[in-house]
Chain A
Amino acid sequence: IGFDVSEDLSLPPRQQSFLVDPAGQDLVREFLTQYFAIFDSESRQALLEAYHENASLSMASNYLSNDSRNSPNNRLTSYISNSRNIMRVTDREQRRRYLRTGRLQVVSFLSDLPKTTHDLMGFAVDLIVFTPAMIVLTMNGIYKETNTAGNPTRSFHRTFVIVPNTSGGFCVINDMLYVTNTTKEQEEKAFASGSVEPTPAAPAPGPAPGAVPGVAP
């Protein structure tokens, strides 16, 4: 004979996106589509216009714990060497140095990251602040490294603080990026919408080499 203590301990179902204000939906979609079209192109220089002149960016990276996969594909060396994980980077001077400030420093840092194709359709996007002065949105998703042997997929979490710019558009003033390995489950569902398949393995009709990769609307 047992006790009647059963409770429903399941987690609430997850949603792909949250909008604090539905009025922000088009702006967010447009901004991210344009931003990642440039980010995933041959050159990230054009992102200069997407950043505020006093923008800050930091990136932190870590391995998944409990991950026994040890192939070269899983190595995050190019990220970890620049990671501002303040649990490890404890010196003030170093913490300041790992924070990139100013549009030029930010874009030069981004330009040195591996070339990518993001799975835009698979993004989880949360718009958490939407006011005339400031927009804050977070993204969770995966991308593929396109110039790295084996085209590894990575998982990321990223927050943009966006402000209006002088020309009637918008720019990022804070950018915080976290990069880690994809889980098995994420890999199985990667690019599942089929709309942003970057691997050149199958000769599917796509953009010409050198052109901006097609980013789903």
Chain B
Amino acid sequence: MSEVAVKNVDNACETAEEFTRVFYKQVDNSRHLTSKLYLDTGLLVWNGNGINGNEKIQKFLMDLPASHHVLRTLDAQPISENLVSNKLTYLIQACGDVTYQNDDAKKPFQQTFLIVAVDGKWKIASDCFRLQVPYLTP
């Protein structure tokens, strides 16, 4: 790997740490501000339900019960820049446990983020959240 590519790997990991710290804090404690983290045209896929655009994402998130996320596993990779119109793009997988209001059960979850650097800020282009449950629909 070139020196630039190596730096980019380091940076992907360090950005993922910072990003997830901010993201879960927002979702759990200041959810009314969370949609600012998404691109205007961002996509949230929540357990297979797709929500397009950060206004709709905000509304969807506000309708979810209050949550508490605990992150336990994190991984990140840079995505080749020529794939995303030369914007710096990172792929992040975050896994852990979430509890929702009025339900003490810790639910394991896995979440994939594509984040893009736009005008000096990290924005979520796509966010895919899945609870770890069986999905086969009979």
Contacts and interface: CB of A to CB of B under 8 A. Distances in A.
Interface stretch (A23-31, A110-118, A173-181, A203-211): A173-181
- The size class of the interface chain B forms with chain A is 35 or more
Nearest to B71: A87
Interface string A88-100: 0000100110010
Interface in B72-115: 72-80, 83-84, 91, 93, 95, 97, 100-103, 106, 108, 110, 112, 114
Interface in A120-138: 121-124, 126, 128-129, 133-134, 136, 138
B100 A86 contact: no
A95 B133 contact: no
B132 A183 contact: yes
Interface stretch (A11-19, A32-40, A42-50, A144-152): A11-19
Given A155-B132, A180-B95, A192-B134, A9 B48 contact: no
B10 A87 contact: no
Interface string B53-64: 000000000011
A128 B115 CA distance: 13
A84 B45 contact: no
Contacts, number: 173
A62 B135 contact: no
A140 B102 CA distance: 26
Given A60-B73, A124-B130, 16 more contacts: A12-B64, A54-B80, A60-B75, A65-B97, A65-B108, A83-B73, A126-B130, A129-B114, A138-B128, A140-B132, A140-B135, A159-B93, A161-B83, A178-B95, A180-B108, A183-B133
Interface of B: 1, 6, 9-10, 13, 16-17, 43, 45-50, 63-65, 70-80, 83-84, 91, 93, 95, 97, 100-103, 106, 108, 110, 112, 114, 125-126, 128, 130-138
Interface of A: 9-18, 20, 54, 56, 58-62, 64-66, 83-87, 92, 95-96, 99, 101, 121-124, 126, 128-129, 133-134, 136, 138, 140-141, 155, 157, 159, 161, 163, 173-174, 176, 178, 180, 183, 185-186, 188-190, 192-193
